[in-house]
Protein backbone atom coordinates (compact mmCIF):
# COMPACT_ATOMS: atom_id res chain seq x y z
CA UNK A 1 0.00 0.00 0.00
CA UNK A 2 1.44 3.38 -0.95
CA UNK A 3 1.61 5.86 1.91
CA UNK A 4 1.17 9.58 1.26
CA UNK A 5 4.15 11.80 1.89
CA UNK A 6 4.20 14.09 4.91
CA UNK A 7 3.76 17.10 2.67
CA UNK A 8 0.80 15.45 0.91
CA UNK A 9 -0.89 14.59 4.18
CA UNK A 10 -0.78 18.23 5.29
CA UNK A 11 -1.88 19.76 1.98
CA UNK A 12 -5.58 18.81 2.09
CA UNK A 13 -6.54 20.18 5.53
CA UNK A 14 -4.59 23.36 4.80
CA UNK A 15 -6.49 23.81 1.54
CA UNK A 16 -9.82 23.27 3.33
CA UNK A 17 -8.87 25.80 5.98
CA UNK A 18 -7.97 28.39 3.38
CA UNK A 19 -11.18 27.79 1.36
CA UNK A 20 -13.26 28.31 4.51
CA UNK A 21 -11.98 31.87 4.79
CA UNK A 22 -13.70 33.27 1.65
CA UNK A 23 -16.86 31.24 2.45
CA UNK A 24 -17.07 32.76 5.92
CA UNK A 25 -16.46 36.20 4.44
CA UNK A 26 -19.22 35.62 1.88
CA UNK A 27 -21.71 34.59 4.57
CA UNK A 28 -20.77 37.66 6.60
CA UNK A 29 -21.38 39.91 3.60
CA UNK A 30 -24.75 38.27 2.86
CA UNK A 31 -25.74 38.63 6.49
CA UNK A 32 -24.98 42.34 6.46
CA UNK A 33 -26.09 43.27 2.94
CA UNK A 34 -29.63 44.58 2.29
CA UNK A 35 -31.80 42.04 0.47
CA UNK A 36 -34.59 42.68 -2.11
CA UNK A 37 -37.40 41.56 0.19
CA UNK A 38 -40.18 43.11 2.22
CA UNK A 39 -41.44 41.71 5.51
CA UNK A 40 -45.18 42.03 6.17
CA UNK A 41 -47.25 41.50 9.31
CA UNK A 42 -50.92 41.78 10.33
CA UNK A 43 -52.07 45.38 10.15
CA UNK A 44 -55.09 47.42 11.16
CA UNK A 45 -58.74 46.53 10.78
CA UNK A 46 -61.28 49.31 10.24
CA UNK A 47 -65.05 49.20 10.54
CA UNK A 48 -66.33 50.67 7.27
CA UNK A 49 -69.72 51.22 8.93
CA UNK A 50 -68.06 53.51 11.46
CA UNK A 51 -65.81 56.56 11.39
CA UNK A 52 -62.31 57.34 10.23
CA UNK A 53 -61.34 59.99 12.72
CA UNK A 54 -64.29 62.37 12.93
CA UNK A 55 -65.77 61.52 9.51
CA UNK A 56 -67.91 58.59 8.45
CA UNK A 57 -66.03 56.08 6.31
CA UNK A 58 -69.13 55.81 4.12
CA UNK A 59 -71.24 58.92 3.58
CA UNK A 60 -74.36 58.74 1.40
CA UNK A 61 -76.70 61.41 0.08
CA UNK A 62 -79.71 61.20 -2.21
CA UNK A 63 -81.28 58.19 -0.43
CA UNK A 64 -82.40 57.32 3.12
CA UNK A 65 -79.56 55.91 5.23
CA UNK A 66 -80.33 53.39 7.97
CA UNK A 67 -78.58 52.94 11.30
CA UNK A 68 -76.41 49.84 11.72
CA UNK A 69 -75.40 47.89 14.80
CA UNK A 70 -72.85 45.40 13.47
CA UNK A 71 -69.40 45.89 12.02
CA UNK A 72 -67.81 45.25 8.65
CA UNK A 73 -64.07 45.39 9.17
CA UNK A 74 -61.69 45.76 6.24
CA UNK A 75 -58.26 44.34 6.97
CA UNK A 76 -54.83 45.60 5.97
CA UNK A 77 -51.29 44.30 6.25
CA UNK A 78 -48.23 46.36 7.16
CA UNK A 79 -45.10 45.88 5.07
CA UNK A 80 -41.63 47.30 5.60
CA UNK A 81 -41.10 50.52 3.67
CA UNK A 82 -39.74 50.36 0.10
CA UNK A 83 -36.38 51.79 1.15
CA UNK A 84 -36.09 49.78 4.37
CA UNK A 85 -32.95 47.62 4.57
CA UNK A 86 -33.96 43.97 5.01
CA UNK A 87 -31.10 41.69 6.00
CA UNK A 88 -30.61 37.94 6.17
CA UNK A 89 -31.60 37.79 9.84
CA UNK A 90 -34.91 39.53 9.09
CA UNK A 91 -35.64 37.08 6.28
CA UNK A 92 -34.83 34.00 8.37
CA UNK A 93 -36.93 35.32 11.26
CA UNK A 94 -39.86 35.94 8.89
CA UNK A 95 -39.66 32.44 7.43
CA UNK A 96 -40.10 30.85 10.84
CA UNK A 97 -42.98 33.01 12.09
CA UNK A 98 -46.64 32.60 11.16
CA UNK A 99 -47.31 36.28 11.84
CA UNK A 100 -44.76 37.42 9.28
CA UNK A 101 -44.50 36.99 5.52
CA UNK A 102 -41.35 37.48 3.46
CA UNK A 103 -42.10 38.61 -0.09
CA UNK A 104 -40.01 39.88 -3.00
CA UNK A 105 -40.05 43.67 -2.78
CA UNK A 106 -41.18 43.99 -6.40
CA UNK A 107 -44.31 41.97 -5.58
CA UNK A 108 -45.29 44.46 -2.89
CA UNK A 109 -44.20 47.78 -4.38
CA UNK A 110 -43.99 48.96 -8.01
CA UNK A 111 -40.36 48.81 -9.14
CA UNK A 112 -38.42 51.95 -9.96
CA UNK A 113 -40.63 54.37 -8.01
CA UNK A 114 -39.74 56.69 -5.16
CA UNK A 115 -41.52 56.32 -1.81
CA UNK A 116 -43.68 59.32 -2.69
CA UNK A 117 -44.65 57.89 -6.08
CA UNK A 118 -45.46 54.52 -4.49
CA UNK A 119 -47.75 56.21 -1.97
CA UNK A 120 -49.47 58.09 -4.80
CA UNK A 121 -49.83 54.82 -6.76
CA UNK A 122 -51.42 53.03 -3.79
CA UNK A 123 -53.84 55.89 -3.18
CA UNK A 124 -54.82 55.87 -6.85
CA UNK A 125 -55.54 52.14 -6.61
CA UNK A 126 -57.66 52.77 -3.53
CA UNK A 127 -59.62 55.52 -5.32
CA UNK A 128 -60.25 53.23 -8.30
CA UNK A 129 -61.36 50.47 -5.92
CA UNK A 130 -63.75 52.84 -4.14
CA UNK A 131 -65.32 53.89 -7.43
CA UNK A 132 -65.79 50.24 -8.42
CA UNK A 133 -67.20 49.41 -4.98
CA UNK A 134 -69.76 52.22 -5.25
CA UNK A 135 -70.75 51.21 -8.77
CA UNK A 136 -71.11 47.53 -7.77
CA UNK A 137 -73.22 48.29 -4.70
CA UNK A 138 -75.59 50.71 -6.46
CA UNK A 139 -75.91 48.31 -9.39
CA UNK A 140 -76.78 45.48 -6.99
CA UNK A 141 -79.41 47.66 -5.28
CA UNK A 142 -80.69 48.96 -8.64
CA UNK A 143 -80.18 52.55 -7.55
CA UNK A 144 -79.42 55.43 -9.91
CA UNK A 145 -75.80 56.58 -9.45
CA UNK A 146 -76.81 60.02 -10.73
CA UNK A 147 -79.17 60.43 -7.76
CA UNK A 148 -77.38 58.54 -4.99
CA UNK A 149 -73.94 59.94 -4.13
CA UNK A 150 -71.46 57.94 -2.07
CA UNK A 151 -68.29 59.31 -0.53
CA UNK A 152 -65.72 56.90 0.87
CA UNK A 153 -62.98 58.06 3.25
CA UNK A 154 -60.24 55.90 4.72
CA UNK A 155 -56.88 57.42 5.62
CA UNK A 156 -53.49 55.69 5.70
CA UNK A 157 -54.64 52.67 3.67
CA UNK A 158 -53.84 52.11 0.01
CA UNK A 159 -54.52 49.45 -2.59
CA UNK A 160 -57.69 47.78 -3.87
CA UNK A 161 -58.29 45.02 -1.31
CA UNK A 162 -61.02 46.84 0.68
CA UNK A 163 -63.36 46.95 -2.33
CA UNK A 164 -65.66 44.11 -1.25
CA UNK A 165 -66.10 45.52 2.26
CA UNK A 166 -66.87 49.00 0.91
CA UNK A 167 -69.61 47.55 -1.31
CA UNK A 168 -71.11 45.58 1.57
CA UNK A 169 -71.00 48.65 3.80
CA UNK A 170 -72.91 50.72 1.23
CA UNK A 171 -75.53 47.96 0.90
CA UNK A 172 -75.91 47.64 4.68
CA UNK A 173 -76.38 51.40 5.09
CA UNK A 174 -78.96 51.61 2.31
CA UNK A 175 -80.78 48.28 2.51
CA UNK A 176 -79.49 46.15 5.40
CA UNK A 177 -80.47 42.53 4.92
CA UNK A 178 -83.41 43.58 2.75
CA UNK A 179 -85.91 42.75 5.50
CA UNK A 180 -85.32 45.52 8.02
CA UNK A 181 -82.33 43.97 9.80
CA UNK A 182 -78.59 44.46 9.61
CA UNK A 183 -76.68 42.70 6.87
CA UNK A 184 -74.16 41.73 9.55
CA UNK A 185 -76.83 40.35 11.89
CA UNK A 186 -75.22 42.57 14.53
CA UNK A 187 -71.98 40.59 14.30
CA UNK A 188 -68.42 41.73 13.77
CA UNK A 189 -67.58 40.54 10.25
CA UNK A 190 -64.18 40.99 8.62
CA UNK A 191 -63.04 40.30 5.11
CA UNK A 192 -60.96 41.16 2.10
CA UNK A 193 -61.25 41.10 -1.67
CA UNK A 194 -61.11 43.37 -4.66
CA UNK A 195 -64.35 44.29 -6.40
CA UNK A 196 -65.19 45.03 -10.02
CA UNK A 197 -68.08 47.25 -11.07
CA UNK A 198 -69.99 44.12 -12.16
CA UNK A 199 -69.67 42.65 -8.64
CA UNK A 200 -66.91 40.14 -9.30
CA UNK A 201 -64.70 39.54 -6.25
CA UNK A 202 -60.98 39.15 -6.89
CA UNK A 203 -58.11 37.64 -4.93
CA UNK A 204 -55.71 39.73 -2.86
CA UNK A 205 -52.37 39.21 -1.17
CA UNK A 206 -51.54 38.64 2.49
CA UNK A 207 -54.67 36.65 3.38
CA UNK A 208 -52.82 34.54 5.97
CA UNK A 209 -51.84 37.72 7.81
CA UNK A 210 -55.27 39.33 7.42
CA UNK A 211 -57.08 36.45 9.12
CA UNK A 212 -54.79 36.91 12.11
CA UNK A 213 -55.58 40.63 12.29
CA UNK A 214 -59.32 39.89 12.03
CA UNK A 215 -59.26 37.34 14.85
CA UNK A 216 -57.09 39.64 16.97
CA UNK A 217 -59.72 42.40 16.63
CA UNK A 218 -62.65 40.17 17.56
CA UNK A 219 -64.24 39.20 14.24
CA UNK A 220 -66.29 36.01 14.24
CA UNK A 221 -66.38 35.46 10.47
CA UNK A 222 -64.12 36.33 7.57
CA UNK A 223 -65.12 36.80 3.94
CA UNK A 224 -62.34 35.50 1.70
CA UNK A 225 -62.00 35.26 -2.09
CA UNK A 226 -62.74 31.61 -2.84
CA UNK A 227 -59.41 31.09 -4.63
CA UNK A 228 -57.59 31.89 -1.38
CA UNK A 229 -59.49 29.56 0.94
CA UNK A 230 -56.61 27.15 1.47
CA UNK A 231 -54.23 29.99 2.31
CA UNK A 232 -56.67 31.47 4.81
CA UNK A 233 -57.31 28.12 6.52
CA UNK A 234 -53.72 27.85 7.73
CA UNK A 235 -54.05 30.85 10.07
CA UNK A 236 -57.82 31.23 10.55
CA UNK A 237 -57.84 30.11 14.17
CA UNK A 238 -61.44 30.31 15.40
CA UNK A 239 -62.67 32.42 12.47
CA UNK A 240 -65.49 31.13 10.32
CA UNK A 241 -64.23 31.39 6.74
CA UNK A 242 -66.83 32.26 4.11
CA UNK A 243 -65.66 31.93 0.49
CA UNK A 244 -67.03 34.44 -2.01
CA UNK A 245 -66.72 35.04 -5.75
CA UNK A 246 -69.33 37.77 -6.26
CA UNK A 247 -70.92 40.61 -4.32
CA UNK A 248 -74.31 38.91 -4.66
CA UNK A 249 -72.88 35.73 -3.17
CA UNK A 250 -71.36 37.65 -0.28
CA UNK A 251 -74.68 39.36 0.51
CA UNK A 252 -76.55 36.05 0.37
CA UNK A 253 -74.00 34.40 2.65
CA UNK A 254 -74.29 37.18 5.24
CA UNK A 255 -78.08 37.03 5.12
CA UNK A 256 -77.96 33.28 5.71
CA UNK A 257 -75.46 33.72 8.54
CA UNK A 258 -77.69 36.29 10.24
CA UNK A 259 -80.71 33.96 10.02
CA UNK A 260 -78.86 30.80 11.05
CA UNK A 261 -79.18 29.27 7.58
CA UNK A 262 -76.75 27.31 5.45
CA UNK A 263 -73.56 29.29 4.79
CA UNK A 264 -70.73 28.29 2.42
CA UNK A 265 -67.44 27.46 4.08
CA UNK A 266 -63.84 26.88 3.04
231 found inside a domain: yes
pLDDT digits (tens, 9 = 90+) for 39-95: 889 999 999 999 988 899 999 999 999 999 999 999 999 888 777 778 888 878 777
33 found inside a domain: no
pLDDT digits (tens, 9 = 90+) for 103-116: 777 766 667 677 78
Of 182, 149, 208, which is closest to residue 72 (Cα–Cα)? 182
182 found inside a domain: yes
204 found inside a domain: yes
Give how many domains the chain has, as a whole number: 1
pLDDT at 82: 73
- Domain range enclosing 180: 43-80+113-259
> Could you give the CA distance from residue 241 to residue 158 in angstroms, rounded to a whole number?
24
104 found inside a domain: no
12 found inside a domain: no
pLDDT at 17: 42
pLDDT at 120: 80
pTM summary value: 0.82
pLDDT digits (tens, 9 = 90+) for 157-177: 777 889 999 999 999 999 999
243 found inside a domain: yes
pLDDT digits (tens, 9 = 90+) for 204-239: 989 999 999 999 999 999 999 999 999 999 999 999
Of 73, 12, 20, which is closest to residue 45 (Cα–Cα)? 73
Q: Domain holding 223: CATH number?
A: 3.30.230.10
pLDDT digits (tens, 9 = 90+) for 111-140: 767 778 877 877 788 889 999 999 999 999
Q: At residue 243, does pLDDT exceed 70?
A: yes
90 found inside a domain: no
Q: At residue 21, does pLDDT exceed 50?
A: no
pLDDT at 166: 97
pLDDT at 115: 72
Of 204, 224, 184, which is closest to residue 72 (Cα–Cα)? 184
Amino acid sequence: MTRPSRDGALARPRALTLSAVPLAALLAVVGLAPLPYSVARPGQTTNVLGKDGSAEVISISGAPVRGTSGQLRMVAIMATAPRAEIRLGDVIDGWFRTDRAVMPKDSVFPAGMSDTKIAEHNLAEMKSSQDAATAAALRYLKKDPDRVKVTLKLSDVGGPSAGLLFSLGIIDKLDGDGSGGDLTGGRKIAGTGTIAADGTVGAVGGVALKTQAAERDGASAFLVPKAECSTAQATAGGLRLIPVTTLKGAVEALRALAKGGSVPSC
